[in-house]
Structure 1
Amino acid sequence: MSSLDDTEDVALDFGSEDDWRRHRAVRYPGAAFFHLFFRIGAVVSYLFCSFYQTSFIINFIIILFFVSLDFWTVKNVTGRLLVGLRWWNHIDEDGTSHWVYESRKGSKKNTETATEARLFWLGLVIFPLLWVIFVFVNLFSLRFAWLVVTIVALMLSGANLYGYIRCKVGSKKQLSTIATQFLGQQMMSRAMASATGAGGDSG
């Protein structure tokens, strides 16, 4: 029986980089290009497919083609090259499923450039948000066939987002701790603001 909670965080070693790459704002322009190309292609195909193709099946195949290529590219290539992160799954001989979240550690931990990191994370976050909007638009307009398309796209892009967040912050326990700390800080800030406001009113 597989277990989704059995996770492992390991170091990711890329070997030595060429010196000429280290001083460039974008060290892997090909990876940076394809990190956005398939995502943009999927969204553009979804928005404008009715103008160049009337068959829903063909439109579905085109969008699914872009979404699938995007999922594979981001999961296996661009995350590893642009920000030094990678997530994957392997199954033991006894059938136990292990989710592995890899990241650069030690002296190679922060070797990515600010431009690469910004491009990677913006692309990773913005497009799932777009698919969320498309899901709700189709849901409220009762376009159930297109709803299926947007849900598939959201699931694949959301899986990469979740996987790389796990790589970035570590184990699930660390992730929940960060969320708890954030909520605690927000509640404390609101309490302090309320107390300050009450004190000002009484004065």
Structure 2
Amino acid sequence: MDPSQPPVENYANPKTCFFHVLFKASSLAFYILSALFFDSFVIIFVVTVLLAALDFWVVKNVSGRILVGLRWWNETDDMGESVWKFECLDQESLARINKKDSWLFWWTLYLTAVAWFVLGIFSLIRFQADYLLVIGVCLSLSVANIVGFTKCRKDAKKQIQQFASQTIASQFTSTLQSAFSVV
């Protein structure tokens, strides 16, 4: 190994990355290949939506937390309004998130939605309206994760900025206090 070369960063969580990709690929692969093996729309619909729902749950509750340190959910408050809840790791832990893990998470999140959208266009072109229902469910689950994690990332950045400004303000205040207490 040449010491002048920078070390190659590997995946910090290869098993989580594998299952993150596996669940996304399984729903897409089953939908694409199912026409070769099944004539029943009901079987294709149920299995594809089940695999997409499993992917949604794994991304939202497992791989999102491990790979990018984010988790989101939506609650209904007492007034009946929808309230987004976000959870993220502390600033030090977020700084240690593996770049390859994060890259894989975000790219597969977006590419899956694009793949479902393209499959939807093909279903429209082939006049298969019933398959648009399958794609619509799977695409909405993918988009829900994109929206949730994007909002969560923005909220995490806002929290980090607030923490940094509070830290700077308290440091400035303590410096001023110590300067005037010496005099």
TM-score scaled by length of structure 1: 0.68
**AA of the residue aligned to 1:125:** Y
Instruction: Give the whole-Å Cα distance in 2 for the aligned partners of 1:47 and 1:106.
Output: 41
Query: 1:98 aligned to 64, 68, 83, which one?
Result: 83
Q: What is the SS of the residue equivalent to 2:87? A: strand
Runs of 4+ in 1 over 6 A off after TM superposition: none
Percent sequence identity is 34
Q: What is the SS of the residue equivalent to 1:170? A: helix
What is the deviation of 1:103?
2.2
- Stretches of structure 1 lacking an aligned partner (at least 5 in a row): 1-23, 174-203
Which residue does 1:39 correspond to in 2?
A: 24
Q: For each residue in 1:141-188, what CA deviation from the matched residue of structure 2 results, as whole angstroms up to 9, or x when unmatched?
A: 2100111111111000111011111111239x9xxxxxxxxxxxxxxx
Which residue does 1:146 correspond to in 2?
A: 131
Query: 1:109 aligned to 94, 101, 104, which one?
Result: 94
Instruction: Give the whole-Å Cα distance in 2 for the aligned partners of 1:67 and 1:138.
Output: 18
In our comparison, the structure showing a higher alpha carbon Rg is: 2
Q: What is the SS of the residue equivalent to 2:118? A: helix
Matches within 5 A, 1:44-193: 44-170=29-155
**AA of the residue aligned to 1:141:** R
More off after superposition, 152-161 vs 133-142: 133-142
What is the deviation of 1:123?
0.8
More off after superposition, 91-100 vs 149-158: 91-100
Q: For each residue in 1:96-146, what CA deviation from the matched residue of structure 2 results, as whole angstroms up to 9, or x when unmatched?
A: 431112223422222211110111111111010011111111122210011
Which residue does 2:172 correspond to in 1?
A: none
Q: Is the 8 A contact 1:26 1:115 kept in 2?
A: yes
Instruction: Give the whole-Å Cα distance in 1 for the aligned partners of 2:79 and 2:65.
Output: 29
**AA of the residue aligned to 1:50:** A
Instruction: Give the whole-Å Cα distance in 1 for the aligned partners of 2:19 and 2:90.
Output: 26
What is the deviation of 1:29?
2.5
Instruction: Give the whole-Å Cα distance in 2 for the aligned partners of 1:96 and 1:63.
Output: 31
**AA of the residue aligned to 2:15:** G
Which residue does 2:169 correspond to in 1?
A: none
Instruction: Give the whole-Å Cα distance in 1 for the aligned partners of 2:55 and 2:11.
Output: 20
Q: What is the SS of the residue equivalent to 2:95? A: coil
RMSD of aligned alpha carbons: 1.9
Q: Is the 8 A contact 1:46 1:63 kept in 2?
A: yes
Aligned residues: 149
Q: Is the 8 A contact 1:25 1:114 kept in 2?
A: no
